Amino acid sequence: MIGGIDDHVAQATPFLDILGKTIVHIGPVGAGHITKSLNNLPLASNMIAAAEALALAVKSGLDPAKVAVAINGSSGRSWVSEYRIPNFVLKGDFSERTGMAVALLIKDVAIACESAKSSDVTLYIGNLFHQMLMRISHEVGAAAPNTNVIRAIEDWAGVKIRPANDA
């Protein structure tokens, strides 16, 4: 996701192709910036929703690994449920390799919320997520990888989202 003058973006594309596999010229300068924040808004919501769903699964006596497989085979799937949950959360890995800092996620959600406000759009859920992320940041630390959003929700629910044989 990039913003800029058409000719400049075209000149930069060979270099951008090295950095990522999906390069989308969104529009003028600044368009990539807002799009990045809009991309991370559903990332935050997916992390929070997946964590709450799987915490409830554990509290209900269900194996979160099996519930995650069911979610991924249905309409609730997301990049978080398909990648982060099985590769990190179910393994109890909340290390630096599992995501950007919570502070960066907060920054992007805040940019989306501020952009919405200046566009006269209300992001009810986005603002709620921003408040939740601020609380989580105080609990896990702003520099913690953002998968720690899920760890905080585990703590709030008093569970660990791990396969039944690892619980």
Active site residue ranges: 36
Q: How many other β-carbons are positioned within 10 Å of the β-carbon of residue 86?
A: 15
Under 8 Å between Cβ of 71 and 142: no
Task: Give Cα 94 distance to the centre of its chain.
Answer: 14
Whole-angstrom distance, CA of residue 20 vs CA of residue 136: 30
Count of CA atoms in the C-beta half-sphere (13 A) of 142: 5
Alpha-helix runs per DSSP H in 60-123: 64-72, 79, 85-87, 102-118
What's the Cα-to-Cα distance from 114 to each of 10, 34, 45, 98, rounded to whole Å?
30, 10, 17, 27
Under 8 Å between Cβ of 58 and 159: yes
Beta-bridged to residue 25, according to DSSP, are 2
